[in-house]
Structure 1
Amino acid sequence: MKILILGGTRFLGRFLAETALQKGHEVTLFNRGKSNPNLFPEAEKLTGDRDGQLEALKGRTWDAVIDTSGYLPWQVKDSAELLRDAAGHYTFISSASVYAELEEPGIDENHAVGQLAAEKVEELKGMDAAQAIGAHYGELKVLCEQEVERAFSERSLIIRPGLIVGPYDFTDRFNYWVNRMKKGGEVLAPGRRDKEVQFIDVRDLAEWIVKLVEDQETGTFNATGPEAKLTMEQFLEGCKSAVGSDAELVWVDEHFLLGHGVAGWSDMPLWIPDEENMAGFLTVDSGKALRAGLTFRPLSDTVRDTLAWEAARTVSERKAGLDPQKEKAVLEDWKERAL
């Protein structure tokens, strides 16, 4: 197949391109040429920008498009309409963040999604793109999906992943726990041991998406894992085992953490306090994707491969994770309280 990837050099896009090339497809990458421009010398590379610089795409045809870089609906509209008659199939990488009303677990593809008024959309168009996306990421992804469906109708495939993890993950969320377990010692573990968590290895997601593209699959799919329920305790113990750590998990009460200014998700990745009433966020139903062939590698493989990649990184500032001094102080206060 001739596959056009919008993006294709960062994280999921990188693995989609790698997988498609390994399977013998003819791959074209369209991006600004700023991130990892030397990747995939065997692929055709077109330089442009989603923001009004799509000339390189004109006059060409592909069997399928995979859109990994669509965040603003007016930009997705431009690319989808331009490619409507130039490609047979359009895959849009959306997000499980599209869902609203997160109080109940088991959210499937028919669950209510976030909405933005037309007036708000017009207001966002005048804002800095990063600010607009940061403020309304999920709702904007919903509108992006709608633009793809309008242009490609029954030739569109919408993927709604949860947290994507593994090598080259620049969000530092999953990586925090891998690195922290490797360091060992007393590790602050947040809240309830039995709180459910979800994520998907980027390579499992990429391989499955390419297979769906090959099959010209259509419709909307949640895509997160693992297949069976995974608790925070099982996850942390799995990380500990995979890296061969002597770490000691110290479970700290939610109210105590919040009282000490420890934030869910940013300080403690994968943890959302119960009081936020978002039980549905990390309990998404991916049954439809499982029936369509989505599979998952063992957690230990993801942990070890992430750690191996981390060993080569030189990043000094992390985007997520608790500061070591703050962790130490909170643990000391917790132990004093228990005396």
Structure 2
Amino acid sequence: MESVFVIGGTRFVGRAAVEEFLDHDYHVTIFNRGEHENPFADHPEVHHLPGDRSDTSRLLAAKREVDPDVVLDCVAYHPEEVREATEIFADVDAYVYVSSGAVYADEDVPKREDETTLKACTPDQAADNSNETYGNRKAEGDRKVFSAAERGVNAMSVRPTVVYGPHDYTERLDYWLARVNEYDRVLLPGDGTNLWQRVYVEDVASAIRTVAEEGRAGEAYNVGDRNALTLQRTVELAADHLDTDVELVHASDRELSTGGLELRSFPLYRPHPHLLDTSKLAALGWESTPVDEAMARTVEEHLESDRDGREVGPSREDEARVLGVLETI
């Protein structure tokens, strides 16, 4: 049985990846600080090693103890972490870094791994922790992967766009699911046609395993739903699976301002279309889950959870003020 060492592994993408590797007969070791509930605490094929990835001596000791075939790096948010990990795990069969579709500097449609320019990253940005530098830091992490590959490390990266699905602690899609499930009228930013491609979490997990098994050193692979939905179609599909009817009310920036809101106040809104070309990953044999099926699973788990996205989008009170103004126009 092959072994995979997962840095992270208990939340969302990491959790789905652990399940994916288990389903394909890997023995899994998860390495993290143990600050979040471990859903695999009682699983006989999942071993937990406590440790902080920033403690390189502990990470090295864990590597020597486990001697893994594959390393999955789910929680590298600074390029120095990627550099250290690729040095420590230089001799593994595959090191896969979870990067992001946010690495791209240009608004190409679609964005392609070997054509679209990556964001630059200054030393100050590399050490930052803000959302504003997330894409810059992930891009520099990719460059560390490429450098490691030049040294002979079988290092690769995956670049998922916005991830959705069960156990999504970001609650970005939960915001819309909760709105549609609770109210008959829901405010939609703009004309509803903004396109921010998403990717189902289980597909990210299968992409990670596919790249670990079939990918080439020094390569990055975009990950996204094969069929990208506009925000309006996303909300309509959610309503279908929630078995409810909802009136979607469009509002411009000017109209939203009556409630102290703007287009960017809403989760999953993006002014420019964001679409990743996933043909490179598909050439390895990867396929995405049909969006209808993925939404059905997402809705089912959402209804069993207590997530409502309340903290990531406008309050119902602000939304209601705008809806009231629009009724008088």
TM-score, normalised on structure 1?
0.86
1:290 to 268, 282, 295: 282
Select between 41-50 and 298-307 the one with higher mean Cα deviation.
298-307
Return the letter of the residue paired with 2:13: L
Superposed, 1:3-18 pairs within 5 Å as: 3-18=4-19
1:319 counterpart SS class: coil
Q: 1:187 to 1:71 in 2, by over 3 A?
A: same
Return the letter of the residue paired with 1:111: T
Q: Distance in 2 between matches of 1:111 and 1:83?
A: 29
The share of aligned pairs that are identical, in percent, is 27
Query: Which residue does the alignment assign to 1:106?
Result: 110
Query: Which residue does the alignment assign to 1:203?
Result: 202
Query: Which residue does the alignment assign to 2:89?
Result: 83
Q: Distance in 1 between matches of 2:246 and 2:253?
A: 21
Cα pair 1:72 1:133 within 8 Å, conserved: no
Return the letter of the residue paired with 2:118: V
Deviation readout 1:307-338 (Å, 9 max, x if unpaired): 332334345873312211111111111121x2
Q: Distance in 1 between matches of 2:142 and 2:100?
A: 10
**Residue 145, structure 1, aligned to residue 149, structure 2:** no
Deviation readout 1:103-137 (Å, 9 max, x if unpaired): x422111211111234x25xx64xxxxx6243411
Cα pair 1:8 1:68 within 8 Å, conserved: yes
Select between 194-203 and 290-299 the one with higher mean Cα deviation.
290-299
Q: Distance in 1 between matches of 2:22 and 2:148?
A: 27
**Residue 232, structure 1, aligned to residue 231, structure 2:** yes
Superposed, 1:159-238 pairs within 5 Å as: 159-218=158-217, 219-225=219-225, 227-238=226-237
Superposed, 1:95-134 pairs within 5 Å as: 95-102=100-107, 104-109=108-113, 110-118=115-123, 120=124, 125=127, 132-134=129-131
Return the letter of the residue paired with 1:79: A
2:196 counterpart SS class: coil
Q: 1:79 to 1:143 in 2, by over 3 A?
A: same
Task: Tell me by how many angstroms 1:62 deviates.
Answer: 1.8
Task: Tell me by how many angstroms 1:258 deviates.
Answer: 4.8
User: In angstroms, what is the RMSD of aligned CA positions?
Assistant: 2.2
1:8 counterpart SS class: coil
Task: Tell me by how many angstroms 1:263 deviates.
Answer: 3.6
Unaligned runs of 5+ in 1: 126-130
Return the letter of the residue paired with 1:22: D
Q: Distance in 1 between matches of 2:176 and 2:90?
A: 43
